[in-house]
Chains A and B, each alone.
Chain A
Amino acid sequence: MLPASLDEAVDALAATPAAVPVAGATDLMEAVNAGRLRPAALVGLGRITELRGWRYEDGGTAVLGAGLTHARMDRPDFAALIPALADAARTAGPPQVRNVGTLGGNIVTAAPAGDTLPVLTALEASVTLARAGASREVPVSHLLTGLDPVRPGELLTWVRVPLLHAPQVFLKATGRSGPARATASVALVLDPARRAVRCAVGAVAPVPLRPLEAEAWVAGCIDWDGSREIDPAATAAFGEYVAAACVPDSYGAEGAWEAVTEGPSAAAVRLRRTVSVLARRALGRALK
């Protein structure tokens, strides 16, 4: 099935609730090829052109279509809008995958290493879930944590992202120099209007994590009215703070026996170092 408009797609999903909506299919076909998924029916979303762009709304909000591909988000006009999301899309994978992989698919798949997820979490974005005759608005974090999951027959249509007009950074640590899954990623955005720093750490947990205490602490260290300068020692301390908040002592420990031993596990120490470096650099670059 290849519906040409959003209404047709929603109706098709309502008619066959077991059908799988397919946008870029990069995650879906990987599961199908591995034999982990046997779709009963497919509803292709590639023809819905209205979801492949974005529009602006009052109150400084951009409404991004769920069908925006990573390659489209990488272009300069989008990067001027939401730089961190463009950075995340640029590093998301090889060109073959970025040409078809979509923003909405990245959210719905909710892979732990999904690159756009920490950015959307840090931006406190919300998504629109549409079904036949109705739609509702859900924060991305609620969707990812399973607090308010996608119900059968619903389609993720729009992603509402605030435009902050301030530096945003996305940094990612991978196992190799080419496109690869993140071992840890950090998205950090400044919100000068609210005098806040918002940070999210991806790929270290099933969902992106927000170190709220570290954010609040470092926001108090920044001279918001002046040149937004910060003591380098505070930047380094922020990195350690974020790492300690996001990586538990028992990270990577197998079984309860290792979990009760003294001190953090070796994997936790290593990952904390990675996260702290990423967070420190992200804050440094955002305030540069």
Chain B
Amino acid sequence: MTTDPNETLDADPLGLTPQVSRELRPCASYTLRVNGFERPVTDAWIGESLLYVLRERLGLAGAKDGCEQGECGACSVQVDGQLVAGCLVPAALAADSEINTVEGLSAAGGASDVQQALAESGAVQCGYCTPGMAMAVHDLLQRNHRPTEVEARQALCGNLCRCTGYRGVLAAVQSIADGRASDVEEAEETAEQAEQAAAADQPAADRPAEEPAAEPAAAVEPPVYTDADAWIEHVPQPPAEQTPAGAGEPYGDGPGGYDSGVYDTAVLTPVQGIPAQTADDQVYYPPQGYPEQPYQGTPAHGTYVPGGYPQQSGYDTGYDDAPVYQPTPAHGTPLPGTAFDGTPPHGTPYVATPPHGAPAEGTAPAGVPYGATPAHGIRLTEDDHAS
């Protein structure tokens, strides 16, 4: 061991690190540019992944360590504007690259529209996959402003979620795309108005520089990073001033309340709450493929449901229009609607149950016995790509 006990204590209090010579453990020092900030990394093993360096050396624990094989997508970060699996990038080789992590999405202090939409569409349960999902959605919407559902599914196919599934995320993608499109239109309208005003004021003046359709998550203030050796208290984020389009009114106990509905309906029905947004004779409809009937919430306890639960007679139901009591029929009376006609009398010839897979009434296709699944090797028409 070294001669200085304090140094040993500080470097490795439990003595877990095996003593490896420098040839076996080649190290490097480099500087990573993370979310626009230069972050020096000193004396790191060259085999360390970008994910490890971000989490353990730079204290950016947003990207999660799922499989370390590039299968799960929980470690997704952007390197040079491309979505990559952080666990599969050698950090030493990302030295000159521009790295964006999920911490960079919330650059202005609050959640970005991507994170807000993911939270509002119920795409979060355990939350482990969510930073990777947020990066994947961010990357998708950078490249494709109006992704179809298939494109969104393809972009998210590398992010595994085992809790909620993907419908919430897909709904979030659509709501973000709708929100950004309406933002762009608003910006264009205000720019046009400013232009007209300027033209009216001074016709000879130059046209005002058109504001590009800035992304709502543009970096305004530097992000706050946790240091590797210091904890920062959780600061509650202020709610976003405007809910993205498509969010609708939450059900349940009001804003921010717990949705009482089933997951899918709770996620998908807010689309129904808003009318089609009309702007410049362009109408945005809610996303395709979702149920069209309005949300019927579970009634509160004690609420009378017409026809829902027949009341027993003899009790004071408290309702004036209580349903009329229908007495239980006598034993042996066939119930209306049931097909059972009682056991036939003795001596009635027995009609055998057809074998499994038998066709109902002569529906068997030619050559296939019983209409069952054809045996393997039988040529199906959809298989025949040669003809």
Bound Cα distance from A282 to B136, whole angstroms? 33
Q: Per-position contact with A for B84-96: 1 when CB-CB < 8 Å, else 0?
A: 1101111011011
Contact with B along A248-259 (1 / 0, CB 8 A): 000000000000
Measured between beta carbons, the chain B residues less than 8 angstroms from A178 are 157
**A22, CB-defined interface residue at 8 Å:** yes
User: CB distance A287 to B386 under 8 Å?
Assistant: yes
Tell which of A6-14, A35-43, A139-147, A187-195 binds the partner.
A35-43
Q: Which residues of A contact B76 (CB under 8 A)?
A: 96
Closest to B76 in A: A96
Docked-complex contact A273 and B376, CB < 8 angstroms = yes
Determine if A280 is an interface residue (Cβ-Cβ < 8 Å): yes
Q: How distant is A287 from chain B, measured CB to nearest CB, in Å?
A: 7
Beta-carbon contact of B383 and A277 below 8 Å: yes
Q: Which of A34, A100, A280 contacts B68 (CB 8 A)?
A: A34
Task: Specify which of B46, B71, B379, B383 is in contact with A42 (CB 8 Å cutoff).
Answer: B46
Residue B62 CB within 8 A of the other chain: no
Residue of B70, B376, B384 ringed by the most chain A CB atoms within 10 A: B70
Chain A residue nearest in CB terms to B24: A38
The CA of A135 and the CA of B20, in the complex, are separated in Å by 38
Contact B155 A22 (CB under 8 A): no
Query: A26 contacts B93, CB within 8 Å?
Result: no
CB of A79 to closest CB in B, whole Å: 15
Question: Is B69 at the interface (CB under 8 A from chain A)?
Answer: yes
A residues less than 8 Å from B162 (CB atoms): none
Cβ of B92: which chain A residues have Cβ within 8 Å of it?
42, 44
| Chain B neighbourhood of A96, CB < 8 A | 70, 73, 76, 83-85, 88, 158
Task: Report yes or no: B386 in contact with A230, Cβ–Cβ below 8 A.
Answer: yes
B96, A235: Cβ atoms closer than 8 Å? no
Q: Does B260 belong to the interface (CB within 8 Å)? A: no
> Is there a chain A Cβ closer than 8 Å to B369's Cβ?
no
Q: Does A17 sit within 8 A of B, measured CB to CB?
A: no
Q: Is A284 an interface residue (CB 8 A)?
A: yes
Q: How near does chain A come to B118, taking the closest CB pair, in angstroms?
A: 18
Counting chain A residues whose Cβ lies within 8 A of the other chain, the interface size class is 35 or more
CA distance A100 to B76 in the complex (A): 12
Q: Across the interface, which residues of B come within 8 angstroms of A34, CB to CB?
A: 68-69
Residues of chain A lying within 8 A (CB to CB) of residue B49 = 29, 32-33
- Of B87, B95, B96, B379, which is within 8 A of A33 by CB? B87
Q: Which residue of chain A has its CB nearest to the CB of B153? A: A178
Q: Are A29 and B158 in contact (CB under 8 A)?
A: no
B73-A94 in contact (CB<8A) = yes
B84 touches A100 (CB 8 A): yes
From B30, which residue of chain A is reached at the shortest CB distance? Answer: A2
Chain B contact residues: helix, strand, loop or mixed: loop
Q: Are A94 and B47 in contact (CB under 8 A)?
A: no
Once the chains bind, are B47 and A99 in contact (CB under 8 Å)?
no
Task: Check B26 for interface membership: any CB of A closer than 8 A.
Answer: yes
Per the bound structure, the CA–CA distance linking A149 and B71 in Å amounts to: 29
Contact digits for A22-64, partner B, Cβ 8 Å, 1 yes 0 no: 1011101110111001111110101100000000000000000
Is A285 interfacial (CB-CB < 8 Å)?
yes
List residues 50-108 of chain B with CB under 8 A from any CB of chain A.
Answer: 68-71, 73, 76, 79, 82-85, 87-90, 92-93, 95-96
- A26/B85 contact (C-beta < 8 A), A93-B70, A284-B386 known: yes
Residue numbers in A under 8 Å from B90 (CB-CB): 22, 25, 28-29, 32, 42, 44
State the CA gap A71–B70 with chains docked (Å): 16
Complex alpha-carbon distance, A46 and B90, angstroms: 11
B6 at the interface (CB under 8 A from A): no
B356 / chain A contacts, CB cutoff of 8 Å? none
CB distance from B69 to the nearest CB of A (A): 5
Q: Does B331 contact A (CB under 8 A)?
A: no
Contacts of B89 in A (CB 8 A): 25, 29, 100
Q: Tell me the minimal C-beta distance from B149 to chain A in angstroms.
A: 15
CB-based contact A232/B387 at 8 Å:
yes
Which B residues are CB-close (under 8 A) to A71?
82
Q: Which of B153-203 contact A (CB under 8 A)?
A: 154-155, 157-159
A97 interface hit (Cβ, 8 Å) = yes
Q: Say yes or no: is A263 at the interface (Cβ < 8 Å to chain B).
A: no
Interface flag for A152 (CB, 8 Å):
no
Whether B385 pairs with A281 at a CB distance below 8 angstroms is yes
Q: Which residue of B lies closest to A177 (CB)?
A: B157
Asked whether B46 lies within 8 Å of A100 as measured between CB atoms, the reply is no
What are 24 A-B contacts with C-beta separation under 8 Å?
A24-B88, A25-B88, A29-B70, A29-B87, A29-B88, A30-B70, A32-B49, A32-B90, A37-B47, A39-B26, A42-B93, A47-B96, A94-B85, A95-B136, A95-B139, A95-B157, A97-B158, A100-B88, A100-B89, A179-B158, A280-B386, A281-B385, A284-B385, A287-B386
5 tightest A-B contacts by CB?
Answer: A94-B158, A284-B385, A284-B386, A44-B93, A235-B386
User: What residues of chain A have their CB less than 8 Å away from a CB belonging to chain B?
Assistant: 2, 22, 24-26, 28-30, 32-34, 37-42, 44, 46-47, 71, 93-97, 99-100, 178-179, 230-232, 235-236, 273, 277, 280-281, 283-285, 287-288
Query: Given A284-B385, A284-B386, 15 other A-B contacts at CB below 8 A?
Result: A25-B89, A25-B93, A29-B87, A32-B47, A32-B90, A38-B47, A39-B47, A42-B46, A94-B70, A97-B70, A100-B88, A100-B89, A230-B386, A273-B376, A277-B383
